[in-house]
């Protein structure tokens, strides 16, 4: 790089870098607006004008349109000693014959704020005029950069319409997008009406920004914890999806910006700032239905909770002949007693969490037997306790109302869904076990009662 004296145009470029990028992005919203009715007129101003082919000039006098664009006349017109180059509305922007003019351009939006009429004036270049020069200067932050060969000087006569060289210029970590003459910004494809003097155009440079996605200082990550990509300063991007990082038991619900501290939703639109920045994942605990599996054909028990939350391990809700319940075993082999806390550890993506009942040989636990009975002997003896299993008094009478009906089936289903809220008495549990007695209370017991009520079977219990 070689140093040059700072110019006012260089300061203008620096001041308008972000503005020009954002204004281009804002035009997207303008495209969605319903255009108003616009009257389009054409002015010749000079006499002796004729088309190069047999065309009625009155055809171009006035056009009324509700469209958001207009196709300008593609005819080429003649005038002695001049060349017809196209049209202009402001003496700055030019439009070649046949050019499609969009009314959503920013400067046209301003033009139409206070008027419903656009006047296109014909542009004539005098063939004897001495041409003026268009020069491209590549400078960034007050320093002139080595200009690429493709940015050659160009010559045009006054009132000639030309399209500047918008080819992107790139150096290491900067690139160009658009041009400026020090007063206004020209976006890709715009045409200029050559004034009566030389023109200097400056490519507008933007930086290449490092965007780093970070999982943050968290545990239980699967795979990488960060990644960095290059983005263009001022460009409009879509943020990463929620699966950018994988963490056991958690979901990404947002990205926190290091620039403004705000949290942005995954896949939302974001304008790249002019400095390197980091987006850190915002995590939310996953919700689970932890499944407790009693086995022996009994219905599974589901307890809701979320990662790192403590839930209470339930009772198995069944008895197994000749065995007692020893607890719930998780996938690590640890056993949890009924009524103890279980902290949900989270699961790998796509997997759930379950614990299996452990049944050991020996007498059933106190929770699955009748209340203890006490027998008192004379004073010379001690008090002893015996345990007697509860026998069914009326098979199917789960609610102990001395009859078997659909109400008993409902009581069983409520018990299975929420044993704390819809508990059955010891007698009710014994009566409810009417399908394959001995395997505990399950949904099949409720079904058997319903079948009896519908007279599909003649009696209870039912055995497979």
pTM for the model stands at 0.52
List, for the chain, all residue ranges whose pLDDT scores fall below the cut of 70. Answer: 1-35, 45-60, 363-391
**C-alpha closest to that of 112 among 25, 38, 41:** 38
CATH class of the domain comprising 287-368: mainly beta
CATH number belonging to domain 390-453: 1.10.1330.10
**Tokens 């407790």 map to which residue?**
292
| Residue 431: predicted pLDDT | 92
For residues 419 and 425, give the distance between their C-alpha atoms in angstroms, rounded to a whole number: 11
| The token pair that represents 423 in the structure block | 């508990």
Tell me how far CA of residue 182 lies from CA of 11, 158, 174, 185, 288, in angstroms: 9, 20, 20, 8, 61
| Domain parsing of the chain, residue ranges | 1-206, 215-285, 287-368, 390-453
| Residue 330: predicted pLDDT | 95
| Residue 44: predicted pLDDT | 72
Cβ contacts of residue 58 below 8 Å, gap of 6+? none
SS3 letters for the chain? CEECCCCHHHHHHHHHHHHHHHHHHHHHHHHCCCCCCEEEEEECCCCCCEECCCCCHHHHCEEEECCCEEECCCCCEEECCEEEEEEECCCCEEECCCCEEECCCHHHHHHCCCCCEEEEEEEEEECCCCCEEEEECCEECCEECCCCCCCCCEEECCCCEECCCCCCCEECCEEEEEEECCCCEECCCCEEECCCCCEEEEEEEEEEEEEEEECCCCCCEECCCEEEEEEECCCEEECCCCCCCEECCEEEEEEEECCCCCEECCCCEEECCCCCEEEEEEEEECEEEEEEECCCCCCCEEEEEECCCEEECCCCCCCCCCEEEEEEECCCCCEECCCCEEECCCCCCCCCCEEEEEEEECCCCHHHCCCCEEECCCCCCCCEEECCCCCCCCCCCCCCCCCCCHHHHHHHHHHHHCCCCCCCCHHHHHHHCCECCCCCCCHHHHHHHHHHHCCCCCCCCECC
| Residue 359: predicted pLDDT | 95
**C-alpha closest to that of 390 among 441, 355, 351:** 441
| Residue 456: predicted pLDDT | 82
Tell me how far CA of residue 307 lies from CA of 286, 289, 335, 373, in angstroms: 6, 11, 19, 44
pLDDT digits (tens, 9 = 90+) for 303-342: 999 999 999 999 999 999 999 999 999 999 999 999 999 9
Contact 431, 409 (CB under 8 A): no
């Amino acid at each position: 790089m070689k140093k040059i004296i700072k110019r006012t145009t260089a300061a203008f470029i620096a001041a308008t870098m972000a503005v020009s990028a954002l204004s281009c992005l804002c035009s997207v919203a303008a495209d969605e607006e319903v255009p108003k009715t616009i009257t389009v007129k054409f002015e010749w101003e000079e006499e002796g004008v004729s088309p190069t082919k047999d065309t009625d000039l009155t055809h171009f006098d006035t056009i009324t349109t509700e469209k958001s664009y207009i196709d300008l006349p593609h005819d080429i017109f003649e005038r002695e000693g001049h060349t017809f180059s196209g049209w202009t509305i402001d003496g700055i922007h030019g439009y070649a014959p046949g050019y499609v003019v969009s009314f959503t351009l920013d400067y046209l939006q301003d033009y139409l704020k206070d008027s419903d009429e656009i006047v296109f004036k014909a542009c004539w270049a005098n063939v004897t005029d001495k041409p003026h020069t268009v020069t491209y200067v590549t400078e960034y932050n007050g320093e002139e950069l080595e200009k690429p060969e493709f940015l050659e000087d160009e010559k045009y006569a006054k009132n000639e319409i030309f399209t500047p060289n918008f080819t992107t210029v790139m150096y290491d970590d900067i690139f160009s997008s658009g041009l400026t003459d020090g007063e206004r910004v020209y976006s890709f494809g715009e045409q200029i009406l050559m004034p009566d003097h030389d023109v200097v155009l400056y490519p507008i440079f933007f930086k290449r920004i490092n965007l780093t996605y970070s999982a943050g200082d968290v545990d239980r990550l699967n795979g990488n914890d960060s990644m960095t990509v290059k983005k263009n300063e001022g460009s409009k991007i879509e943020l990463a999806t929620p699966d950018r990082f994988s963490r056991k038991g958690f979901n990404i619900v947002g990205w926190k910006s290091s620039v403004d501290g705000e949290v942005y939703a995954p896949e939302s639109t974001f304008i790249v700032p002019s400095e390197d920045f980091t987006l850190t994942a915002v995590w939310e605990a996953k919700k689970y239905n932890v499944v407790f599996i009693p086995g022996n054909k009994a219905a599974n028990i589901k307890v809701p909770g979320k990662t790192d939350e403590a839930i209470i391990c339930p009772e198995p809700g069944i008895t197994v002949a000749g065995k007692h319940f020893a607890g719930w075993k998780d996938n690590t082999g640890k056993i949890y007693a009924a009524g103890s806390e279980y902290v949900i550890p989270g699961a790998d993506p796509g997997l759930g969490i379950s614990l299996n009942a452990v049944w050991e040989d020996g007498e059933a636990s106190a929770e699955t037997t009748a209340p203890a009975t006490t027998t008192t002997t004379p004073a010379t003896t001690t008090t002893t306790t015996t345990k007697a299993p509860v026998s069914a008094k009326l098979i199917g009478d789960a609610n102990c109302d001395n009859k078997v009906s659909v109400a008993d089936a409902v009581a069983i289903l409520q018990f299975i869904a929420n044993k704390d809220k819809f508990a059955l008495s010891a007698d009710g549990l014994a009566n409810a076990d009417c399908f394959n007695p001995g395997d505990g209370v399950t949904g099949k017991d409720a079904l058997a009662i319903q079948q009896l009520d519908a007279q599909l079977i003649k009696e209870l219990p039912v055995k497979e």
